Amino acid sequence: MRLIGIVIHPGFQLLDVAGPAAAFELAEHYQPGSYRLDMLAPGGGEVESSSGMRLSARPLSDSGPLDTAIISGGEIIRSMAAAQEIVAWLRQAKPRRTASVCTGAYLLAEAGLLDGRAATTHWWSTDDFARRYPTVKLDAERIFIQDGGVWTSAGISAGIDLALALIEDDLGPAIARRTAQQLVVHQRRPGGQSQFSGLVELGGRSGRFVELIEWMRTKLAETLTVERLAERAAMSPRNFARAFTAETGTTPAKAVERLRLEAARMAVETSNASLDRIAEESGFGDAGRMRRAFLRSFGQPPQALRRAAARK
């Protein structure tokens, strides 16, 4: 029996908690005696989430020995006293695994648990996080990252991916797969998958490049150089590259590849088109180049993703 402690605080994000809790609940159903959940918070009692809904929790000081501690994200600054108590607890608690969802990574970093480690967090917070914690090897692209006994995940729904990975680590892929199916999760995304629902999808922090991104989606099979994109945006190539990177957090070339990956993956999983045709229509040119891009970003080749989608 593994005791999973989910730590909440005033302003916590409800899905950061509910998603992982549901995953562990279902895994326990498939393999009884595997998990017991404990909701914990500084001071205990009812804790209000960012949505206004409340959950009851036991005092953090009464946690006892945990197998895994999962720190929720959300509006951490709503109660700095609660945040400081969680940080102090993290410094002395010794669970087998410590994990965070979304901006919960800030609390792990404050406790020093991420020093020198690879980690991720919600894409919206990555610039601020990198400035505050320069010793952390931040990888903003990842859905989740394991570095030793410390696990971090990206924003909100990525907490489900994190929980499924923890379940697979404990109980194997079969239980994790059944849990994912019961959750009606499209797939168990490998940790290396990019956070697609990010700044590029929104056209940047201010939405400045929304029209350009939509235009790029319609031209993926064509050559999309910085010069061509800059011309479309009515900017010089140098100013465009600088502005685009500042707005989206990624270079124009990486954004083009990301959009191509998104389109190619959709076609791989939902159509019977040949991989050569998909590669050509999404702008990769040939199946070999597309395969290398898939392995780099998803950790799996197109054929594996197609087979996994067919089993759903």
CATH code for the domain in which residue 155 is found: 3.40.50.880
CATH assignment at residue 229: 1.10.10.60
Strand order in the sheet with 2-7: 45-48, 54-59, 35-41, 2-7, 68-71, 97-100, 150-153, 144-147
Would you say residue 276 lies in a domain?
A: yes
Are residues 150 and 37 part of one domain?
yes
Tens of pLDDT, residues 188-204: 555 455 555 455 665 66
Are residues 161 and 121 part of one domain?
yes
Are residues 222 and 156 part of one domain?
no
Torsion of CA 206, 283, 296, 118, to 10 degrees: -10
DSSP single-letter state for residue 218:
T
Are residues 164 and 42 part of one domain?
yes
Are residues 48 and 100 part of one domain?
yes
Average pLDDT, the chain: 91
Residue 148 CB neighbours (<10 A): 10
Are residues 109 and 245 part of one domain?
no
Would you say residue 195 lies in a domain?
A: no
Would you say residue 190 lies in a domain?
A: no
Are residues 135 and 22 part of one domain?
yes
Tokens of 156: 């909100």
How big is the chain, counted in residues? Answer: 312
Are residues 141 and 50 part of one domain?
yes
Would you say residue 260 lies in a domain?
A: yes
Are residues 131 and 25 part of one domain?
yes
Would you say residue 194 lies in a domain?
A: no
Beta strands in the chain (DSSP E): 2-7, 35-41, 45-48, 54-59, 68-71, 97-100, 118-119, 137-138, 144-147, 150-153
Tens of pLDDT, residues 81-99: 999 999 999 999 999 999 9
Q: Average pLDDT, stretch 29-36?
A: 97
Mean pLDDT lowest among 69-78, 83-92, 248-257, 287-296: 248-257
User: How big is the CA angle at 52 (ends 46 and 55), to the nearest 5 degrees?
Assistant: 30
Range of the domain at 280: 209-311
Instruction: Using alpha carbons, select from 35, 309, 63, 23 the residue that is nearest to residue 162.
Output: 23
Tens of pLDDT, residues 103-118: 999 999 999 999 999 9
Are residues 32 and 168 part of one domain?
yes
At residue 307, what is the residue type?
R
CA–CA distances in Å: residue 219 to residues 244, 246, 251, 305: 18, 23, 18, 24
* Residue 131 pLDDT greater than 50, yes or no: yes
Instruction: Using alpha carbons, select from 51, 53, 106 the residue that is nearest to residue 80.
Output: 106
Tens of pLDDT, residues 158-185: 899 999 999 999 999 889 989 988 998 7
Would you say residue 199 lies in a domain?
A: no
Residue at a domain's end among 183, 201, 221: 183
Residue at a domain's end among 183, 200, 229: 183
Count up the domains in the chain and report the number.
2
- For residues 156 and 15, give the distance between their C-alpha atoms in angstroms, rounded to a whole number: 6
Are residues 221 and 171 part of one domain?
no
Query: What is the pLDDT, as a whole number, of residue 197?
Result: 47
Q: Average pLDDT, stretch 243-269?
A: 89
Are residues 223 and 174 part of one domain?
no
